[in-house]
Amino acid sequence: MPTSPQSPHLPFGDNVHSPWYGKDVLTVKNLDRKDLEYIFGVAHE
């Protein structure tokens, strides 16, 4: 039986080792491209 590929971003809220766990985005000035790709990847899910 085929299984769907696991998302690298999920479970977002349950992954306490995630670099963004418990953090808020207050300004985009402190973000780099890698951060933006991660955030938009989660949003795309």
**Measured distance CA(25)–CA(43) in Å, rounded:** 14
pLDDT tens string for the chain (45 positions)? 555 566 666 665 567 777 777 888 888 898 899 988 988 887 877
Domain borders along the chain are 8-45
**Measured distance CA(10)–CA(29) in Å, rounded:** 25
Whole-number pLDDT of residue 2: 52
Whole-number pLDDT of residue 11: 63
Distances (CA, A) of 39 to 1, 15, 18, 31: 31, 14, 12, 10
Q: Which amino acid is at 18?
A: S
DSSP 18: S
